[in-house]
Structure formats: C-alpha cells, structure tokens
Amino acid sequence: MTEQNIPLTDFGVCGGSGTLSFEFPAGLEDDRIEILAEGLEWDTPFGPSPIFTHFGIDGPHGRREALAVRMHGWRRGVRRADASLQVFWVFEQAGVKKVLADGGVGSVNRLLDPRDVIVPDDFLDLSARQDIYVRGDHLLIMRDPVCPVLHGGLADAAADAFPRVFRRGVYAVTDGPRFESVAEVAHIAQAGADVIGQSFAPEVFLARDIGACYAGIYLVVNYAEGIVKEWEHGELKDIFFDESETVSRCVLDVLSETDLAAPCGCGDLRKPSLLDIPDDRP
C-alpha cells in the first residue's frame, strides 16, 4: 500500500466515452475479473480524486491488478485539466506503468466512417491547457508518444472485433466540451489530423511524466463538422450504446494478455530535466 492506502497496480484505465454507457469492468461478467474495491476516492495535491474501481484480472502472464476511472475523471464543477492531474497523481502513487484509454472521436479524414476504430500513433494538442504535469522533473520526448506494445495489443484486439480498424492516425485534441465549427475542422484537417476529440492529451504526456506507457483505442462516432455529411444525434447515441461492450472487451484483453516485460523503448523518451542539472563548467 502507498499513501492513503492507494493499492499498488500494474495498469491504469482511463475509461472514456467509448465505454461510458457500460459498467467497466464488472459489466463484462468475465471469469478472469475480480472486483477488489469500488467507490475509491483519495485526496490529491490537485483536489479530491474522482471515483476509482480496483480490480484484478488473470491471464497468460499471471495475475495483475488495475485501477479504472470513468470518463477520464471528468465531472461537473472540476476543470478537465485538474481532473487529469488528479487521475495521474493517483496512478503515480499506485505505481502504474501501463495506461490504457478509450474514447469516441469525430472523423476529420474523409475516409473514416462512423463505427470505424482507430488506434492513433501521434497527436496534435490544440488545447489551451498550460503547465500540466504531475512531476515536472523530466524532459518528455514525444517523438514516439504511444507505446508500441500497448498499441499493437489494442490494434490486434480491435481487428478481431470490428470490421474496419486503422492502426495509424493523428488525433487532434481540443478543449471542448463543445463541438468544433466547420472552419475549425477545416483548419485541423489541413494540419494533418485524422480524428478529433478531447481525451488524448494531456493523458498521453502525463503518462510519460509519471514514467508510464500509454495507448488508446477510439471509436469513430460521427463525421466532424463539414466532413462528408451532417451527423445525427440519434446515430451518435446508438453507436455509443451498441459498441461500448466491444470496446471494453478490447481494453480488457490487452490488460490480461500484455507482457509487462516486453521491451518498448518508452522509458528512453523520458530524460532528467536540464533545469535540474547543476552547471559544472569552469
């Protein structure tokens, strides 16, 4: 146990809109899962944490444990930046080394349709958040922001469950919670994005900040404004409810089957901050 009895776990799960309509992980009724505790909250330097579920899962590499939070810890009355910091402070205290996420995204690339799945390998952070870090004592090199081991696991799991899965793509992050304008989407498309959403950053660099690997699986739920055709609220709702269990199973399979010892190179992209190195020059 760590400070405030936060359990030590291998994985952290940032549940997003892809699994929002589903009770993860208990709703899967999977024999591999054991719910160890629910309704967990802790005090953090960034405010009271959201509610976590602590569970164990069995797999080919033995038993591992995870902490899961719904909707990235977002809730009314709490800034999204603060919610992210609360979540990743808890993950750091728990010793989390692998972070998985899910979400729903809008298609910016005209070749992507609703119900397609994308496992992004890069991102554009267009949010206005500043100074978002838990530790802040390392250089965070984002040359390869996504863990190749987790990325490959999610892509393989998705390929077994969905008709169309894209293993590469650029995720553009905006502040939300509103949707973007037609002009904003056109600008983002010109910048090279494939999908647009609100939950890839700061998670991707907060994971590196605490020394953890990161990857996410994202379900296309609508065309972004000005792309192909106007989206319909009913279709958006149907996709969320129809596919949430399948997305949940993809995440769970990666939790169960990932080899924690598999080399990925993520640790080499986190270096001590130059600001903390004394100047020894004569």
pLDDT tens-digit series, residues 132-149: 889 988 889 999 999 999
- 194 CB-near residues (< 8 Å, 6+ apart): 107, 108, 109, 112, 118, 120, 166, 169, 170, 171
Task: Reply yes or no on whether the pLDDT at 72 is more than 60.
Answer: yes
Is 3-266 assigned to CATH 2.40.50.140?
no
How many angstroms separate the CA atoms of 73 and 99, rounded?
A: 14
Neighbours of 246 (CB within 10 A): 17
Give me the pLDDT at residue 129, please.
Answer: 79
pTM for the full predicted model: 0.92
Mean pLDDT value of segment 179-201: 95
The contacts of residue 91 (CB under 8 Å, 6+ apart) are: 12, 67, 99, 207, 210, 212
> Using CA atoms, how far apart are residues 254 and 256, in angstroms rounded to an integer?
5
> What's the pLDDT tens digit per position in 94-144?
999 999 999 999 999 999 999 999 999 999 999 987 778 899 888 899 999
Rounded CA gap, 8 and 70, in Å? 19
Q: How confident is the model at residue 194 (pLDDT cuts 50, 70, 90)?
A: very high
